[in-house]
Structure 1
Amino acid sequence: MRRRTVFLFLLAVAAFAAAQAAGPSGSGPVGESELAARITGIAAAAAADGSAIEVTFASSDSRRDLLVFWGTAPMSTAEDLLRSTATTQLDAGAVRYAVPVLPGTDWWFAVLDAGLYKVGGVPLVPGENATIRGVRVPVAAENQQTAASPSRNLPLPSLQLGVAVATGRSIETGGLPEVPSERDVSPATALAIAELLRAAGPAPRPIVKVQVLGADVAGGDPALQSVAADTLARGDWLGAEKKLKDYLSIRRTPEIKALARFYLGQAYWFQGRLRDAFFEFLGCEDVLPRESRTWQDACLGELAARS
């Protein structure tokens, strides 16, 4: 999970650089700009149970995948996106997302078309696709939720942050105990840890082959299964890419779409297009979590090895 977060940050840096090259408008190539969904009517409010902030919006094209950003400062420029706390990809058709956040801190949100963002387009319009006011989960709601949940016996500590990471402003802790002070391990323990790491050696790089899933996975589709078992398995990466893109141009169920993106990610992988492959595997994670994460890790490992 940490490596995926780092990679998404690197993608944000690349998107910002592309936006700078495109000019002050921040729009991508004409073709992608015309295809991109327009996000309007964004709104954010604390959930009734105090567990998250719910973000709602409208999309002009329900077929397009989206990205939602959130952070502790307003977002109106590409630089603001780079400083956002986190981002995640939403499936096509999504018009709401619940973000679990730290209570007692103001949060801002933005939603963009994923395809346009990939090529550097960051058309942020406060009030349309970016919130203009900070929204927070009250500390009282968090305290009620904590009181309702079963407590653990001491000495297990509960993590409490005294200040907001991004702003440095104080956060109410509700009287909960503070985090214990950090302590260094003994020299003998440090030596043992170093020896274990040395003996383990570097993590082996995975040997990845074409992975064709069973016909019953995600509902199955003979046409899609034929592309995977024939064109993709034979190593015709360009042919598989074209057929899968044509297949995805028609509206599919979320399960079938995820399976097609899983195979498209493999076609990109074997062409060396690791960045595109990662996005496809990330987009099918909800339906194929175990399979897609294996390929995501492979993409991140190869990208790290090349850097």
Structure 2
Amino acid sequence: MKKGFIIFLFFVVSFCFAEEAALTGEALAGENEQPQLVPEVRPDKTGSEKIEFSEKPQDLQKNEDFAFLSFSLLTRERSVMISWKARPEGRNLILYRSTTAFSSITSLAEAVPIANITDDGLPFFDYPIPGIPYYYAIAEENEIASGKIQFINGINTINSPIEVFGSSEEQEKKHIAVQNRPIPLPFLNPSRHTKKRTEFFSSQTETIINALTAEKRDFREFIISSQRLEPYIFPDDKKTPDGGEGMELQRILNEHFYTKNWQKCKVELSNFLRIRRTSRVSARTHFYIGQTLFFQNLYDEALLEFLTAQDLYPSQAKEWAHYCLVELANFR
């Protein structure tokens, strides 16, 4: 009886020690094990201790200041390779070609836009007419709209012209034509003429001239005021149209352009260009949009539209682009 009781106590004590050891091991394991925390990105009140994604990368890119870093030209056979560097990339750029150097925004009225591209860092190849020296320049779309563009040699233009030559056969024909040119008639040599005595105005006349030239004048004295300009309609849009797109364009002009409802007309013409049109219809539509913006005194936006239509309608676009540039200069 006593022996059995002693054995029973032994088993009870052994079971208690085993359970206590198991609990102690779990406690030690819990102390040594680091809890896995799931980081949560949440902005605090100051924004200095936690990450705060408040702006998207695209928004940051838009807020970066744009600038051209370099501009260079290189002839390759009958083409001109135009290279540039700008920061940031991805902006809308316009390349220009002209027979005169680029000095200010007024130079764009004499230039021809050869490309409207999105900057991807790659050069552009132009194929000008051989034998004619050309100047090139590049501008960012927003710079043109603001009217605050400056042309700097080696940055966004080149002050010296560049020229490509034709094939060897064309050059040989040109050389033969020069050789066969008739002998010119004799001419007077101006250097041998006697110089005329320099004449001066009287002091009274000089005073009047100085007073007139010192007076500040308004550009509006030398141009037709925008209030006196009449909207221009191309002859193709006055006659019966041949196709469906011509009929639709004529309908918009009859309903809104002739009635001078410029805001509504601009919206209708922009919607009209959402569908791809022929080159001439598209150019005329851009010209009409430019007029609607011009008569709303939005001269910077109107200028871009006239420059877009300049390739196919150079005389009309050049005239209205000149009006825009003078108005922009007058309101500075």
TM category (shorter chain) comes to: 0.3 to 0.5
When Rg is computed on C-alpha atoms for both structures, the one with the higher figure is: 2
Greater relative contact order (CA < 8 Å, ≥ 6 in sequence):
1
TM-score by length of 1: 0.47
TM-score by length of 2: 0.44
